[in-house]
Amino acid sequence: MNSLSKDTLVGISLGIALFVYSIVSSTNNYLMFLHLPSLLMVLGGTIAATFISFKFEDVKFALKEFAGIFAPQKINPETLYKEVKNIIAWARIIKLEGLQGLEKELARVKISDPFIKYGGELIITGYRGDELRKMLTNFTETTYERNIIGSYVLKKMADFAPGFGMLGTVIGLIIMLDQLEGDPKGLGQGLAFALITTLYGVFIANLFFKPAAEKAKQKQETLRLRNLLVTEGFVLLGENKDSILIQDMLNSFMDSSYHFSVSNREN
């Protein structure tokens, strides 16, 4: 369960449960709401329109972001606290051993995060002050702009889904009208296709695509905040500032209940 996002699972489960309950409690013929052609119309049309509107790589990334809503957030107050702790530890290493000590430490812990790895390389290379801040800020903002496309694509999918639901409604009405002088059973089939397709479009858009878009956006905004915090930390490291100043500066990015304290030896 730790590998899954509990809030996402609770939200989706609750939404589906309420949807199912409203149907089961209102009719005994609840199986009529299971209509494969309507589902294919909405999902197939939405995916087709998305591929027409965006590059394959963007759609692939958006679907990956959609799957990512079921995973817990990698960046949270606890991980930010650890980032501050690491930066202050690196400041102490620089005070004692200089940049060579920092280089050895970064090589020892084998940093895999691209942003921290890039920032460490810049400091060791000798960049300082505004130059260092500008390069790290550029990295942060361009990463955000590249990744936010996933949220934008999911929002467009949420727009497309009800539209194809309405398209299914028109098709169903045409079928129904065509059967006015024929088999009365066709009227029911056409009306079912008409209304259920719209239902599927609205349901999928509002329970899946829109929430996924918002969560993907929140994920990228959290990453940007974390990168801005680390940027400030690296700038202070480059200026060889003392631990107390780094602590107070980085704590300004944090929730007050997660402020780091260098005086607490347990940290």
Lowest mean pLDDT across 10-19, 177-186, 199-208: 177-186
Task: Name the more confident of 265 and 149.
Answer: 149
- HSE at residue 137, side-chain half, CA atoms within 13 A, is 8
pLDDT at 22: 87
Question: Is the pLDDT score of 29 beyond 90?
Answer: no
Range of the domain at 229: 77-146+225-258
- Would 58 be classed as within a structural domain? yes
Mean pLDDT in the chain?
88
- Is residue 88 in some structural domain? yes
78-106 per-position pLDDT tens digit: 999 999 999 999 999 988 888 888 888 88
pLDDT band at 150 (very low <50, low <70, confident <90, very high): very high
Residues 239, 196 share a domain: no
Q: What is the pLDDT of residues 228-262, one digit of tens each?
A: 999 999 999 988 888 889 999 999 988 888 898 88
**Tell me, what's the pLDDT at 34?**
85
Tokens, residue 234: 């690296």
What pLDDT does 189 receive? 63
Q: What is the pLDDT of residue 184?
A: 61
Give the rounded percent of residues in the chain with a pLDDT score beyond 90.
50
Residues 25 and 124 in one domain: no
Average pLDDT on 34-44 reads 89
Residues 46 and 168 in one domain: yes
pLDDT surpassing 80 at residue 70 = yes
Is residue 264 situated within a structural domain? Answer: no
Residue 267 domain flag: no
- The total of structural domains in the chain comes to 2
Q: Has residue 147 got a pLDDT over 90?
A: yes
Which tokens go with 13?
């489960």
Residue 263 lies in a domain: no
The pLDDT value recorded for residue 182 is: 62
In terms of domains, do 232 and 139 share one? Answer: yes
Question: What confidence category does residue 33 fall into, taking pLDDT thresholds of 50, 70 and 90?
Answer: confident
Q: Are residues 131 and 20 in the same domain?
A: no
Q: 85 and 36, same structural domain?
A: no
Name residues whose C-beta falls within 8 Å of residue 146's C-beta, 6 or more positions apart in sequence. none
Half-sphere exposure (Cβ direction) of 214: Cα atoms closer than 13 Å? 7
pLDDT recorded at residue 1: 44
Q: What is the pTM of this model?
A: 0.84
Q: Does residue 43 share a domain with residue 171?
A: yes
If asked whether residues 188 and 88 sit together in one domain, one would say no
Examine the domain organization and report whether 126 and 163 are in the same domain. no
Which of 227, 63, 68 is CA-nearest to residue 149? 63
Q: For residues 109-146, b (16+ Cβ closer than 10 Å) or e, as one string? A: eebeeebbeebbebbeeebeeeebbebbeebbeebeee
Residue 151 lies in a domain: no
- State yes or no: pLDDT of 263 exceeds 50: yes
51 in the same domain as 174: yes
For residues 135 and 186, membership in a common domain is answered with no
Give the model's confidence band at 27: pLDDT under 50 very low, under 70 low, under 90 confident, else very high: confident
Q: Is 266 within a domain?
A: no
62, part of any domain: yes
Is the domain of 205 the same as that of 217? Answer: yes
